[in-house]
Structure 1
Amino acid sequence: MRRLLIPAALLTLVSCAAPGSGRVTLSNFVYDRARVETFVTSFPDCELRVGMTATSFELPLNGTRVIDTPAGSDVCWRRIEPPFTQATAPGVPLITPWNRAFTASGRIVDTRL
């Protein structure tokens, strides 16, 4: 009986461990050069708050960017589209809605733009 209780107790302890850090891998297989904006948040929505900063970068065609997150945090990201001549004033980029990669539980997420 002890042979069964010890492994069961160890399995219970391991399953109760705190989640580790997460990781998001953003890949661009469609756009010639994509402008991307990301930020890491522990809040339940993708809204920039005081003290939070978004990071902007360009992701070339067939490019990949890895974003590591602390435990309990998710990654919000969006692609900034180039301006269309008819849609907006010249030079004003269009912004797509925020996407959220759920990494708070320590997951590794692969996503495409």
Structure 2
Amino acid sequence: MSSQEEVPDDPDQVTSNPESIDVLKRVAKTVSRYLDEENARVKAEQACFLPSTEDGIPVIGEIPGIKGCYVATGHSCWGILNGPATGAALAELIVDGVATFVDLSRFSPSRFGKRRIR
């Protein structure tokens, strides 16, 4: 149900996809009979954007050229699961200057500066 569209500048332009909403309603009914539209009232239909990177790998680390500025994003739907490990590793990086909890090298923001212009 994901798409590759850009996040609009105006939050009011974010709209839900009716087909995705229908899929979610059908799935909810399979989880519990109390989640069908006869038993449960839909309060809102919303859309959200997951922070994802082009290469599918989160960005975690110090931003090159901006001393003391760190980022941890791009986890997509796995952010809630990977958040604790990301937080622990980033805390080590900020406090100790190196993360030993997790090797952050493949997540480095500097990987985006290495692209060639075609």
Task: Normalising by structure 2, report the TM-score.
Answer: 0.22
Q: Which has the higher contact order (CA 8 A, sep 6+)?
A: 1
Q: Which has the higher helix share?
A: 2
User: Greater strand share, 1 or 2?
Assistant: 1
